[in-house]
Chain A
Amino acid sequence: MRNVNVPRDGVPVTQAKDVAADPSLGKKFRLRADVVIVGSGGGGSVAAYELAKAGLDVLVLESGRYYPSSRFTEHLGDSMQLIWRDQAGQVNTSADVVFAEGQCMGGSTVIGGCVMQHPPDWVFQRWVDNHGLADLAPEKLAPYFNQVGQEQQVHVNESHEINACAHKVIQGCERMGFSWQPVTRNVKRCALTGHCLAGCPSDRKMSALVTHLPWASAYGARMFADTQVTQVRTRSGRATGVDAVVMDPDSGSEVARMAVDAEVVVVAGGAIQTPMLLQRSQISDPSGQLGKNLAVQPFTQALAEFPEDLHAFRGALVGVQVDEFFDTDGYFFYSGLAEPEQMLAQGYLGAGQDHIDFMKKYKRMAALNAFSIDEGNGEVQWEGDAVNGSKKIKWNPGRSEFENVKRTAALAARIFFSAGASRVYLPTYQHLAVDSVFDLDQTLDQVDYGLNGMYTFRMNSFSAQGTCRMGLDKYAAVVDPDGECHETKGLFVADGSLFPEPMPAPPQWTVQVVAKHIANRILERRDGLFIQGNSA
């Protein structure tokens, strides 16, 4: 019997300021753990919880800062500057696609829109059939989905969680004959503030910050924020730990260097950061696929103006989804209009009077976020040395991907016109708005593919995946069905980077499920993995 107490609020996290204030640590220090986990988001937090609960000595290292919910201001600008990676400016090499990502304790679970979607079974059946991932068959994953669903308090939006924005989408879908349904979200007693993207100050969003991280801590997991892992150390084909730098999050200056000795390393930094860490560490990769197959699930936001006031930014941020095209085309749509800054980041940018007129109509606007599945042809690369190098995210839409983005934007516009919109602002770098559905196609035809589709549609990605893909064949995949790197024993990946194919759904739920599966596999194999033994 163990006495396990979850703190009422907050998580015990060692921060750069604590390291700086502790003379016993100095400028270089060494720690020992059974398992070191890199990243504290959806995957890392679940793995930490499961492994700590099983009695292993777990150490979690997070590059972002610890920003407890008591400090959230419900101001997107503040959050973007402090806990979004690169101040929400992480972009591809042509700087026209934004890759949104949380960089804080809890990672993207802290800044996401709370949407939890269970992908259809055919997605996982393809993983089995095409990549030999028998353990990830739909029937085997079902209990994991249930378990995570309960832990995350996932529920279908109730009627009071459907705001004016969502009602316009419903109205449009009904007239078009499109299928729609309320979204499933991981929120407990949602207070309908609409500030999900800035972090939930009353802890209703079931982010890792209030679930798996404090639970892991209650089971003894230790956590460091402000700690950038520079490389995974290996010896004779086995992971032996990591090297890291503790940085002051405000000044960016180095506070100390940390070395961690651990027999198991779990990397869960997400599909952008994880492959770059493995590249920096020169992990053996016979597949040649490390960093490749980047799928981004591009989305754009169509803004519609209605004749009446909607105040569509009030209420639950995401109310309904349009699932009419989910199985046939891989398109999916979510209602959701956030605060002015978010709209400016994604939407229409006129000059002068045009902008003033646009913003004066903010209360009459609704937004529909249009997602499409891409082909996974992007790539992430780390260039330069481990500390001072830089990242490169290479993704621009191919022609068919561009056409998909265009089609989703057109569908979103049609839904809004059917709901009675008087104008739809198109999500393009050109300055395009349409006042009638009859002008829509002609206007969209002004957006041509050009050079690699650059600076055409204002695309964003909240769901990068696929850069360390999982599979049975070590010449085709980076990690094996246990999530372990094919040629580096004890080095596991537990995030969206291991999805073997682009997935047409928001990934958080699946990431958490796969992380649970990988943690279980580590525990099942503990006799072989922890050869020096551990206290459990």
Chain B
Amino acid sequence: MSESDKAAEEVARLGRRPFLKSLLWGGAAVAAVAGGSFAWLRRSGVDDEPVPDWVRHLHANEYHLMRRLIPALLPVAGTNLTPPEQVPVLRNIDHMMGLLNTTVRKDLAKGLVLMDNAAVVSGWHGKRLVDLEPEAARAYFDTWTRGNRIQRALQGVVKQFIYTSYWREPATWPPVDYDGPVTEEWGLEYLGNAPLPEADQEQSA
């Protein structure tokens, strides 16, 4: 079964999934599904690109989508912020994906397929999200921020994955003055377990 066929099957089954069942209630969601059907004919140039060996939990389409979205969502050029390519954002996303329970992971996979494909008609971009230029990708996110609850949820999840995977890295903290761990640096005394309450101490003395 091709990737396109898999996507088609997944989209067709969405209505039975609890997480996304309400998707079919919203007009924008209908557009998203329609976008999905267009996209089966609309392959991306990145579809055939290889995925690094270290990727364990991201599906190939998810890897490419996240890779393209990172610079769009974290445009640090011209600032003192740490460039995202200097921290392992994608590795962190891959790790986080591996922590999700099976049900949520499956639902998220479907959601990401939708979000990617819906760009074909949502906003009339005519391309999948993975192929949008950074400016258009950001506009797409802004549109989904104002969309129905499922769109709001999906765009929020993607942002959280990318932003959390970036900001969890200590290299990103100095530019925003965040100190990070301080106990060792400050030489704080380790207090250990609290002694027994006084009443007990008297009893056991």
A-side interface residues toward B, CB under 8 Å?
1-4, 6-11, 53, 70, 73-77, 81, 86-87, 89, 93-96, 147, 150-151, 153, 188-189, 191, 193, 195, 201-204, 206, 210-211, 214-215, 218, 309, 311, 313-314, 339-341, 344-345, 349, 351-353, 355-356, 359-360, 362-363, 390, 429-431, 450-451, 454-455
Contacts and interface: CB of A to CB of B under 8 A. Distances in A.
13 contacts: A6-B195, A74-B182, A74-B183, A75-B180, A95-B19, A150-B198, A151-B197, A189-B191, A201-B183, A344-B160, A344-B164, A360-B175, A363-B177
A1 B141 CA distance: 69
A353 B75 contact: yes
Interface string B13-54: 000001100100100000000000000000000000000000
Given A77-B168, A150-B197, A363-B176, A450 B149 contact: yes
B159 interface: yes
A362 B176 contact: yes
| Interface-central residue, B156, B172, B183, B203, by most chain A CB under 10 Å | B183
Nearest to B169: A77
B112 interface: no
Given A7-B193, A429-B153, 14 more contacts: A70-B190, A73-B181, A75-B170, A151-B197, A203-B191, A218-B196, A311-B177, A340-B178, A352-B73, A352-B74, A352-B138, A360-B81, A429-B149, A455-B152
B124 interface: no
A352 B75 contact: yes
Contact of A87 (B25, B99, B134, B180): B99
Contacts of A70: 190
B140 to A, nearest CB: 9
Contact of A2 (B22, B25, B195, B204): B204
Interface residues of B, number: 62
B196 A89 contact: no
B194 A188 contact: yes
A214 B191 CA distance: 14
Contacts, number: 180
Contacts of B104: 89, 95
Nearest to B99: A87
Contact of A9 (B153, B159, B189, B190): B190
| Interface-central residue, B101, B176, B177, B191, by most chain A CB under 10 Å | B191
B81 A359 contact: yes
A352 B141 CA distance: 9
Contacts of A356: 74-76, 79, 81
A313 B177 CA distance: 10
Nearest to A343: B167
A93 B104 CA distance: 11
B73 A351 contact: yes
B100 interface: yes
Nearest to A212: B194
Contacts of A151: 197
A313 B182 CA distance: 12
Given A4-B204, A349-B159, A431-B142, A202 B188 contact: yes
Interface string B69-84: 0001111100101000
A47 to B, nearest CB: 16
Contact of B168 (A75, A204, A363): A75
A301 to B, nearest CB: 15
Contacts of B76: 356
Nearest to B153: A455
Nearest to A70: B190
A191 B99 CA distance: 32
Contacts of B153: 95-96, 429, 455
A355 B134 CA distance: 14
